[in-house]
Structure 1
Amino acid sequence: MNTTPPRVLTIAGSDSGGGAGLQADLRTLFACGVHGMTAVTAVTVQNSLGVTGFVEMAPEVVAAQILAVATDIGVGAAKTGMLASAGIIEAVADACDQVGIGRTGTTPFVVDPVAASMHGDQLLTDLALEAVRGLLFPRATLVTPNLDEVRLLTGIDVVDRAGQREAARALHDLGPEWVLVKGGHMWADPECLDLLFDGSEFVELPGPRYDTKHTHGSGDTLASAICSRLARGEGVVEAVRFGKEFVVRSVRASYALGAGVGPVSPLWRLEG
């Protein structure tokens, strides 16, 4: 009998275009050699040009999905993506507590606080943003916001590396064990520097900046790659280093899709 691979649960929305959300998570988890499971929070109507609509799942259905897989299959690590509403966030926090996901348990919990569109527009209501701060961040092993999400969550508009450090401190004060402030939107910086912080020490993770618009799903890919290593028992620093290298190579392998923004591609890992 074959050995069961590590298992990762993604709690996120479906992207009908296949570039981000649950689809990006599952592609990445497969490429990283782990078994992916899902708790669907919303079904979006989107393509390469953007999102034109979505339907939320009932909070109790989201919670039931988490409980169903965690109590039978088991979860080695979990992540969030689009959570859509304060009600869903509350249900996720409660369900995770029941099965030991997050800092109150033993299962690593990565919160990718999807709160802004690729154009920087706010996707969550102010009430939902407050639920992210008050309910998810204190439970998180790691949070992975981009700079637009940093602005919405902390009010800090990061434009340089000093601002990145200020933001990391402010986010850590909200309760997560670790913070990863992604620097992809810090356009004036010639590097793409991600900054990891545990409340006392900073770890800089530089990377190349590629000349491409096709970066849809990069945040999902990064968080999922990190989870694939946390589920194997690796520490946060080692898992984030792996995730950074994985997403850099996925951006390099990105491709055009439709008339708009194409996705990053974890398929590079399956070549050869």
Structure 2
Amino acid sequence: MTTSYPSVLTIAGSDSGGCAGIQADIKSISANGAFAASVITATTAQNTQGVFDIHPIPVTHIRKQLIAVLEDIDFGAIKIGMLHSADVIELVQKTLREYPIKKIVLDPVMVATSGDRLLNKAALGNLKSFLSDAYLITPNIPEAEILIDKKIDAQKLGEAAKEIGNTFKTSVLLKGGHLEDSEQMTDTLFLYDTQKSISIYNKRVQTKNTHGTGCTLSSAIAAQLSLGLPLEEAVKKACSYLNKSITQGKDKTLGKGNGPVQHFPK
């Protein structure tokens, strides 16, 4: 008897330092029990201290990567990370619509750790139009504030997640990591189909080793979905995995800057 690998396709940029991007995605997907395939949208000259250069992959080659894997492999979920230009966003959206995969986890990467916006106005418009194609989007607070054009505090997490979900017609995991006034990490999951909101709590870990946490979490969710878990259970399991990964990597050293999580916690 043969069985199929539960498989996830990650579409994102490459991080030469290995902490984030495609590299973090593959580690996270593997750690959560699924097989990872990848489509690379850009390469970076990057380490724990910063990003020093970005080399966009031509859109014609991105499409060829997409078709090569989608024509051959059955994916239980797709994870999408940073799509750096309006053309790339449009291409990925158009190509994925040619295939029947419904469980798309989209991490709407729009703001750098420095606070700088990563997408211009045209790209942001295309990204917003793409959000309704997703099964789940995973914005952090600065990204969520851009999506609804208002400030969000701890008391407004549930309200904001619901507004984003109903505006873009998708489920939302609003990540609360930027709220630093609590010893507790609170993420809010809004399920669009049922209009249900769930608060997910984990202990906040004090560490500088958080490079790639957004990539790691969204990939873990996609992996759990590919294993057949319902969305609420997949998100809760992925959040628990990430918290464990941060905890076990908090005192480790890699490079001179912000290190990664421990992608394979014991």
Tell me the TM-score normalised to structure 2 length.
0.94
Shift of 1:150: 1.2
1:236 is the counterpart of 2:231:
yes
Are the equivalent residues in 1 in contact too, given 2:9–2:75 (CA < 8 A)? yes
Q: Among residues 244, 259, 263, which one is paired with 2:260 in the alignment?
A: 263
Match of 2:150 in 1: 156
**SS at 2:9 equivalent:** strand
1:119 and 1:256, CA in 2 relative to 1: closer, same or farther beyond 3 A? farther
1:70 is the counterpart of 2:63:
no
- Superposition pairs for residues 25-36 of structure 1, below 5 Å? 25-36=25-36
Q: Amino acid of the residue matched to residue 217 of structure 1?
A: G
1:191 is the counterpart of 2:184:
yes
Are the equivalent residues in 2 in contact too, given 1:10–1:79 (CA < 8 A)? yes
**SS at 2:167 equivalent:** coil
Match of 1:132 in 2: 127
Gapped runs of 5+ residues in structure 2?
Answer: none
Gapped runs of 5+ residues in structure 1?
Answer: 102-106
Shift of 1:2: 5.8
Matches of 2:116 and 2:180 in 1, distance apart? Answer: 17
Q: What count of residue pairs does the alignment treat as equivalent?
A: 262
Shift of 1:234: 1.4
Shift of 1:56: 1.0
Are the equivalent residues in 1 in contact too, given 2:34–2:227 (CA < 8 A)? no
Q: Amino acid of the residue matched to residue 66 of structure 1?
A: L
Displacement over 4 Å in runs of 4+: none
Q: Percent identity?
A: 37
Q: Amino acid of the residue matched to residue 64 of structure 1?
A: K
Q: Amino acid of the residue matched to residue 259 of structure 1?
A: K
Q: Amino acid of the residue matched to residue 143 of structure 1?
A: I
Q: Which has the higher contact order (CA 8 A, sep 6+)?
A: 2
Are the equivalent residues in 2 in contact too, given 1:29–1:36 (CA < 8 A)? yes
Matches of 1:228 and 1:171 in 2, distance apart? Answer: 24
Match of 2:54 in 1: 54
Match of 2:140 in 1: 146
Are the equivalent residues in 2 in contact too, given 1:5–1:33 (CA < 8 A)? no
Matches of 1:29 and 1:153 in 2, distance apart? Answer: 27
1:172 is the counterpart of 2:169:
no
Q: Amino acid of the residue matched to residue 187 of structure 1?
A: E
Shift of 1:96: 0.6
Are the equivalent residues in 2 in contact too, given 1:141–1:176 (CA < 8 A)? no
Are the equivalent residues in 2 in contact too, given 1:229–1:239 (CA < 8 A)? yes
Matches of 1:170 and 1:155 in 2, distance apart? Answer: 11
**SS at 2:123 equivalent:** helix
Q: Amino acid of the residue matched to residue 131 of structure 1?
A: N
Matches of 2:10 and 2:150 in 1, distance apart? Answer: 28
Matches of 1:155 and 1:257 in 2, distance apart? Answer: 37
**SS at 2:43 equivalent:** strand
Matches of 1:62 and 1:174 in 2, distance apart? Answer: 29
Matches of 1:152 and 1:16 in 2, distance apart? Answer: 28
Shift of 1:210: 0.7
Deviations 1:22-52 (A, max 9, x none): 0000011111221100110110111111111
Matches of 1:44 and 1:153 in 2, distance apart? Answer: 26
**SS at 1:243 equivalent:** helix
Are the equivalent residues in 2 in contact too, given 1:12–1:39 (CA < 8 A)? yes
Matches of 2:240 and 2:157 in 1, distance apart? Answer: 20
Shift of 1:125: 1.1
